[in-house]
Amino acid sequence: MKLYNVKLLTITCEILAQENIIEILKKHEITGYTTYEVDGNGARGLRGQGLKNEKNVKVEVIMREEKLQDVVEEISRTLFANYAIVLYVSDVGVLRPEKF
Amino acid sequence: MEILELIQANLLTPIILFFLFGIIAARIKSDLKIPEAISEFLPIYLLAAIGLHGGIEMRNTGFENMLIPMFVAIGLSLLFTLNHYQILRRLGKFNLFDSYALASTYGAVGAVHFSIGLSFLKNQGVSSEGYIAAILAVLEPLAFILAIFMTNMAVAKQIKTKKQSFSDDNAEIDIGLNQTKTKLSKVLHESITGKAIVILLGSIVIGYIIGKEGFEPIKIVFDDMFTGAIVIFMIEMGIIAGQRLDDIKKVGVFLTSFAIIIPLFNGIIGVLVSTALGLSVGGAVMFGLLMASASFIAAPAVLRHAIPQAKPSLYITSALGITFPFNIIVTLPILFTISTFVHSGEGAIDLFNFITEGF
């Protein structure tokens, strides 16, 4: 089995920033992603309780390294200042690199 | 005296008691929680009930009577939003973004307030004009659109002055203005197609079509159960408000007083103006309550996108933690008392003179 190296970008953010992130992904021609609602605690206190609009989501995107730079740059430039957001990148292996 | 008695009586209604109970449950860190699906369903149900009620009443009164109150409501709402901005920016020393976000939160209307108002009137045996539900739908996006427009204009101006110190290149300002346009049209589109407006307008139309007889088979759900549903929703609202009680300290004295005085002031103006326009006792209360209410469900969703620089902890906490409890416990009975008073006393025309002299 041959695994190809690609990057996994994981973004945990408030649910109201989700749309902005997906827009940025779209701009960079990335259409595949996975999101799920999560709870947690962080710099802005316990999140995920109460109003729906105050929940957190986790967005996972697999992409090639070439695109990663631009995407991360744009997210940090446009969203870091105003939204509750945490972002990290990990190396993952996939079987079908042509999908990403 | 009468006001105090009414406040006291209002305090002992199930709606308020369950709200306070929710706060207590949150304070003692109970794991009591309304299931998510139900707390998402209830606002939709409440809006459907409000819309149906409004539509049925509108069938009796017709559309013509609603135009003037609607335009006056729009005018007042915009005026109040600008007024809030001046107060917050000049006296409160909030930054531009927070000022506009808060100004529009308090200029906007709240559907939960509205439901409680209807239930309060039902309790008092007073009816209200149905078209106020239509005014609710029209006012919903209004204050936000104004605030977003003003904020973007202010930002574009700032960019312009900064730019001019470098060169006379206008390209970036154009980009700024274009962004404003796309932002505004997006907000407009999102609020008009948003679930609140869609269900409200849809139910008004359906209510109008079916009329009193058509409503009979569904009355048990949308009328008899209305107050009961609010009570369940109040538990949830109480829990959320209770969880935020600690944040009120961060809001500060100025905003706390703002969150109490402004809604009361706006509400009283609303009652007086609508009485002058010839609305009934109940109608004037609902009109005043619309003016007094602050938005806490729609506001974060709209403002977080449109004015992300503003701190949501400020506008959500003040609207939900301070203004909402104050309005349903104190403002509502006060508005009702004032409305009863001005309707029983002198005629509407005298009152209008009184108001214009007052300014």
- CB contact under 8 Å between A52 and B40, yes or no, is yes
Note the pLDDT tens digit of each residue in A12-21: 998 889 989 9
Where helices occur in chain B by DSSP H, the ranges are 2-11, 14-27, 36-61, 64-86, 96-107, 111-124, 132-139, 142-164, 171-193, 195-215, 219, 226-243, 248-276, 281-292, 298-306, 312-316, 324-326, 332-344, 348-358
Q: How far is CA A11 from CA A54, A96, B52, B318, B348, in A?
A: 16, 23, 42, 30, 59
pLDDT value at residue B27: 94
pLDDT value at residue B345: 67
pLDDT value at residue B167: 59
Among all residues of chain A, which has the CA nearest to that of B37? A52
Q: Where are the domains of chain A?
A: 4-94
- Which of B304, B314, B316 best tests the A interface by mutation, with the highest count of A CBs <10 A? B304
pLDDT value at residue B194: 82
Buried b / exposed e over B199-208, threshold 16 CB at 10 Å, is bbbebbebbb
Residues of B in contact with A51 (CB under 8 A): 240, 296-297, 300, 316
- CATH of region A4-94: 3.30.70.120
Integer-rounded Cα Rg, in Å, for chain A is 14
Q: Measuring CA to CA, which residue among B129, B83, B85, B133 is closest to residue B109?
A: B133
Q: What is the dihedral of CA B48, B49, B55, B58, to 10 degrees?
A: -140
pLDDT value at residue A98: 86
pLDDT value at residue B177: 63
Which ipTM did the prediction report? 0.76
B2-354 fold: Na+/H+ antiporter like fold (1.20.1530)
pLDDT value at residue B152: 83
Among all residues of chain B, which has the CA nearest to that of A50? B240
- CB contact under 8 Å between A51 and B308, yes or no, is no
Among all residues of chain A, which has the CA nearest to that of B308? A82
CA of B19 vs chain A CAs: smallest distance (Å): 15
pLDDT value at residue B145: 86
The pTM of the full predicted model, rounded to 2 decimals, is: 0.85
Residues of A in contact with B305 (CB under 8 A): 16, 19-20
Residues A3, A100 contacting (CB under 8 angstroms): no
Nearest to A83 among B36, B240, B308 (CB): B308
Nearest to A16 among B240, B296, B304 (CB): B304
Q: Measuring CA to CA, which residue among A36, A53, A47 is closest to residue B39?
A: A53
- CB contact under 8 Å between A53 and B243, yes or no, is no
pLDDT value at residue B318: 92
pLDDT value at residue B169: 55
Q: Which residues of chain B have pLDDT under 70?
A: 1, 165-182, 345-359
pLDDT value at residue B168: 56
Interface of chain A toward chain B, CB-CB under 8 angstroms: 14, 16-17, 19-20, 44, 49-54, 81-83
pLDDT value at residue A1: 86
Q: Where are the domains of chain B?
A: 2-354
- CB contact under 8 Å between A16 and B36, yes or no, is no
Residues B122, B227 contacting (CB under 8 angstroms): yes
